[in-house]
Amino acid sequence: MQARQIDPGNRRDVRRFIRFPFRLYRGNPYWVPPMEAEMRTALNPAAHPYYRHSEAAFFLAEQDGEMVGRLAVLNHTGYRQQPGCADRGLFCFFECVDDLDAARALFDAGATWAARRGIRTLIGPKGLAQGDGQGILVEGFDHLPAMGIPYNLPYYGDHLEALGFEKQDDLLSGFLRAEDYHLPERVVQLAERVKARRGFHVREFKTKDEMRALVPQVRRVYNQAFADVPGFVPVSEEEVRAIADRILSIADPRLIKLVFKGEEVAGFLFAYPNIGRGLQRARGRMWPLGWWHILREFKRTRMLDINGIGLLPGYQGVGATAVLYAELERTVRQFGFEFADIVQINEKNLKSFSEMDHLGVNWYKRHRIYRKEF
């Protein structure tokens, strides 16, 4: 068993890195493949904005000439500049057959590369960009993942723990069933009073060009809303454009809502139709018929993913949250969704959990972020 670092300029190895999960999850009804074009960008230092400030290494594990695992390790400059993170690196894209030796070979190789850069602790999975899905799925294996959120085989967590990794954080996802979701009347009334008295209003969009024009303002709100989250790295202008392009590729403009205070963005609600079944049929490629399967799923899906609810700190605690939740209920009903998936809330965010519990959210998936000091 051996693991080796690959050259991102080697097309054969890049293809093997990208295509390995397609073989590993063949026949699995829940795994949703990434688009191959996005993965190629992630491995291309000339294409992804992450490489303007940081570096990454990609590893393959092989046995008797057959690929049995893959891993990426990140030397993320922005992350290491956060308080308490100077000697920490990240890992992502971990996939492996059910063989502990294969997992060990990958992380040994990754840790050796990281140590040469002064990294003593690896944390992950965390991706190259803010907004990438995080964690190893440890509960909820018999459900389709939300858009962009990892799905993995049940033994992944066991292997990491056998290698000495420990829990750092758990991220919980829950669902709302539309037929059971009835926002209390007092919350609806509060939302209307807040809008009338404090000058809040919700802006809806008809086109993606309208949304793109507000990306700079959304970046400011996003960076401020999550500034106090440990390890959060502010998003640069170049990165937010890349994130916006990715979001807009799957977004229905009518489902993206911004809360304004006057002419300034005060908060956001990011919701996307879950087109996972279409992506499964597309098999990671737009051509020749992937685009048709994806467009068809936009019309068929009855699942909505809520992957971003945030307010600027100055507007938290003044009733603006009620505006967002009222808008969430209206969106679910207006477009005929049967389920809404609330995506990856940190278990330490007790305030959000309390609010979500009152809304009737059923927590059914758990992703775990691991750490290990080497």
Considering the chain, what percentage of its residues have pLDDT values greater than 70? Answer: 99
The number of C-alpha atoms within 13 Å of 340 and in the hemisphere containing its C-beta is: 30
Report the mean per-residue pLDDT for the chain.
91
Overall residue count recorded for the chain in this entry: 374
Asked whether residue 240 carries a pLDDT value surpassing 90, the answer given is no
* Dihedral angle sign, alpha carbons of residues 227, 232, 237, 240: negative
Q: Contact, 335 vs 305, CB < 8 A?
A: no
Cα 187 from Cα 40, distance rounded (Å) = 46
Mean pLDDT computed over 268-277: 92
pLDDT band of 143, cuts 50, 70, 90: very high
Reported as type and span, the H/E element at residue 20 is: helix 11-24
What CA–CA distance (Å, rounded) separates 209 from 214? Answer: 9
Tokens of 276: 């996972």
Q: How far is CA 252 from CA 33, 70, 83, 308, 334, in A?
A: 21, 34, 37, 15, 13
* Torsion angle in degrees (nearest 10) through CA of 208, 213, 219, 224: -110
Helix (H, G, I), strand (E, B) or coil at 143: coil
User: Hey, what are 174's tokens?
Assistant: 């829950």
**Which structure tokens are listed for 21?**
């999960």
**pLDDT tens digits, one per residue of 324-354:** 888 888 888 888 999 999 999 999 887 778 7
pLDDT value of residue 133: 81
Confidence of residue 132 (pLDDT cuts 50, 70, 90): confident
Q: Specify the pLDDT at position 190.
A: 86
Full-model pTM: 0.92
Instruction: Say whether 276 sits in a helix, a strand or coil.
Output: helix
Mean pLDDT for the stretch of residues 16-22: 98
pLDDT of residue 111: 98
- pLDDT tens digits along 184-232: 888 888 889 888 888 888 888 888 888 888 788 778 877 887 777 777 8
Strands 166-177 and 339-346: antiparallel
d(CA 127, CA 231): 13
Calculate mean pLDDT across residues 87-93.
98
> Which residues neighbour 324 within 8 Å (Cβ) at sequence distance 6 or greater?
257, 259, 267, 269, 309, 311
Q: What is the pLDDT of residue 76?
A: 96
C-alpha neighbours within 13 Å on the C-beta side of residue 164: 9
Which tokens go with 306?
């809520």
285: pLDDT strictly greater than 80 = yes
**Is the distance from CB of 70 to CB of 93 less than 8 angstroms?**
yes
Domains of the chain, start order:
2-128 (3.40.630.30), 176-365 (3.40.630.30)
Is the omega angle on the peptide bond into residue 288 within 30 degrees of 0, that is, cis? yes
What is the Cα–Cα distance from 115 to 61, expressed in whole angstroms?
19
> Coil, helix or strand for 161?
helix
Model confidence over 57-87: pLDDT tens digits?
999 999 998 999 999 999 999 999 999 999 9
CA-to-CA separations, 211 to 87, 219, 264, 297, 302, in angstroms, rounded? 38, 12, 14, 22, 23
CA distance 144 to 120: 35
Helices 215-225 and 237-250, axial angle in degrees (round to 10)? 110
Give yes or no for residue 296 having a pLDDT over 80. yes
User: What mean pLDDT comes out for the span 143-168?
Assistant: 97
**Residue 319: which pLDDT band, with cuts at 50, 70 and 90?**
confident
**Percentage of residues in the chain having pLDDT higher than 90:** 60
